[in-house]
Chains A and B, each alone.
Chain A
């Protein structure tokens, strides 16, 4: 109780306590905890794929036609694909590809979208109008359709799929930050800062932006799943990662040719996508409740 009468005395302790409270609130929902669990498992799979995979050499262009399309067995828990590669091993390496791709795409989307939203929201004027008009144009078609059009202009491969998705994704962040800035800049602390003589750059980046970060981070968490989903869709269509890359969408596309007899090749990689998207969604939902931020899940592209 003494601490509460002197709240500024020990900011570090206060902050730790604040985090503790948030963690407590987060734990109240078992679904949020499940989401965190799934995300941790996927991160571990991605980081330690070479160690965890029973046959790490199967991730690439390995072939063993003797063992092609074997059903699930103790040796290959999820069966083998048409080239005799262990599907479980390839799925573990697929986690690596998907997580990396998601992080890179969203890093680009945030790096491009957030500053533009900040400029449009804080400075406004003609430049702000122009930025928001361009954003409207990018948002006029569903992200996957725009990403597809971009992949057409590039050679289909994983890197270009990443570029294409990032190209379609940044405007969501511009719009999000724009809305945030418009409401935050009316707050009194911004006025106070201005009164103390802070310049516009300082106000925008040191006063307004830090208050928008929690919303941005939650959107990033929710979007991780949807970016991975979109990328697997592009790969499924043959416009993203190419065989023999162990990407989940590519694996489904390859396995699909051996339906219905060899069902395991096309079905198991789908669970990996489902679980990943679900995990990031649950985690994002949980964080949203904890930080009490208003973004709806449907605002993310999928």
Chain B
């Protein structure tokens, strides 16, 4: 089976999973006790008003009719009406999603950029004190409650040192192109806006990245130790090549493939933990919005956020798989 067929099949496989997810979340949200419409309108609303909004939102129809209507809406980019923000959920998503995308992506980049050299160092100094310290730190990184780390960072860098802003994303750059503040300010060469955005995102991105960083570090360490034992590493060394060149030019690519496999999965955990970290930093992202919609029993918001998270997760995993085949040509798609 060719590469293109493989990608196509993966995309086709995504469809039933996403439909299943939408059914699951739809059913969960519709069996919610309490009346979200009444909650949204407040205690002052008359029964007629409640009934009217209920009819307007189609809540008086049977469940499967509601679901089909919802699904056909989703394909037109219509996620319904948010009882929390009192506007179209699609608008909310458009506003909040870039913030989460920016945060999780930067967290992943940080994890990779810091995790690889730390893992390589640990492998080179295997069993030295530094390696043991690294291992404990890596384990703690996985075990650390992200929201707690976020609070500790706030105490240290915002309250005590006053170096970084405590919460928020800062002002939007003058020109918005992608909605990703860092990227937008770079594209418009607005350096001061870039620095402001960077200061705001630094703590949340780091707090979010720690677990993934630790995992990457451990994986790189393990596969690098294996690579260093290989004959070609020994051969390269006996030719007198400098060890940095051997490690980073020849061995790292092989060692990295094992890491790549977990990046897709880790991205899911980043998205999950964003629900906590965004809360601590009042980061105006999808996860922050998601928790708000949960607390307000705003079911249209809850379904949309869950679906977007699911799709984002699936797309990243697909992307990683494609990249995997590109980096490691030995991968044959479609076996098994």
Contact = CB atoms under 8 A, between A and B. Distances in A.
Given A141-B306, A298-B262, A270 B159 contact: no
Which of A236, A238, A252, A263 has the most CB atoms of chain B within a 10 A radius of its CB? A236
5 contacts: A142-B271, A152-B293, A236-B279, A239-B294, A298-B262
Interface stretch (B14-22, B62-70, B236-244): B14-22
Greatest chain B CB density within 10 A among A137, A232, A259, A299 is at A137
B143 A140 contact: no
Interface string A241-272: 00000000100100010011001001100100
B139 A282 contact: yes
B32 A278 contact: no
B7 interface: no
A5 B61 CA distance: 76
B74 to A, nearest CB: 15
A180 interface: no
A273 B139 CA distance: 13
A53 interface: no
B145 A232 contact: yes
Nearest to A256: B151
A252 B280 CA distance: 11
B135 A137 contact: no
Contact of B139 (A141, A155, A278): A278
Given A145-B271, A152-B294, A239-B294, A140 B310 contact: yes
Contacts of B28: 149-150, 152-153
A31 B134 CA distance: 13
A270 B151 contact: yes
A206 B148 CA distance: 45
Interface string B102-139: 00000000000000000000000000000000011001
Contacts of B181: none
B151 A266 contact: yes
B24 A148 contact: no
A43 to B, nearest CB: 17
Interface string B249-288: 0000000000000100110110111011001100000000
B151 to A, nearest CB: 6
Interface in A180-238: 225, 229, 232-233, 236-238
Given A237-B279, A252-B151, A140 B314 contact: yes
A57 interface: no
Interface in B277-336: 279-280, 290-291, 293-295, 297, 299, 302, 305-306, 309-310, 313-314
A151 B294 contact: yes
B313 A277 contact: no
B177 interface: no
By Cβ-Cβ distance, the 10 closest A-B pairs, closest first, are A142-B272, A270-B148, A137-B20, A277-B143, A260-B159, A144-B272, A278-B143, A152-B294, A142-B268, A153-B32
A281 B18 contact: no
Consensus secondary structure, chain B interface: helix
Given A144-B273, A236-B147, A256-B151, 20 more contacts: A133-B17, A134-B20, A136-B17, A140-B17, A141-B309, A144-B272, A145-B305, A148-B291, A149-B25, A149-B306, A153-B31, A229-B143, A238-B295, A252-B145, A252-B151, A260-B160, A266-B151, A270-B152, A278-B139, A296-B262
Interface residues of B, number: 57
Contacts of A263: 155
- The A interface, classified by DSSP as helix, strand, loop or mixed, is helix
B11 interface: no
Interface in A133-176: 133-134, 136-138, 140-146, 148-155
A152 B30 CA distance: 10
Contacts of A260: 154-155, 159-160
B152 A267 contact: yes
Contact of B29 (A142, A152, A270, A302): A152
A67 to B, nearest CB: 23
Interface residues of A, number: 50
B112 to A, nearest CB: 15
B211 interface: yes
A22 to B, nearest CB: 22
A137 B151 contact: no
B139 A142 contact: no
A274 B215 contact: no
Nearest to B140: A278
Interface string B201-225: 0000000000100010000000000
A31 B17 CA distance: 40
Interface in B26-40: 28-29, 31-33
Nearest to B36: A152
A133 B269 contact: no
A124 interface: no
A301 interface: yes
Contacts of B275: 144-145, 148, 233, 237
B142 interface: yes
Contacts of B147: 233, 236, 249, 252
A297 interface: yes
B144 interface: yes
Interface in A112-132: none
A151 to B, nearest CB: 7
Contact of B145 (A141, A148, A155, A274): A274
Given A238-B295, A260-B160, A229 B306 contact: no
A273 B145 contact: yes
Which of A145, A263, A296 has the most chain B CB atoms closer than 10 A to its own CB? A145
A141 B279 contact: no
Contacts of B291: 148, 237, 239
A259 B159 contact: yes
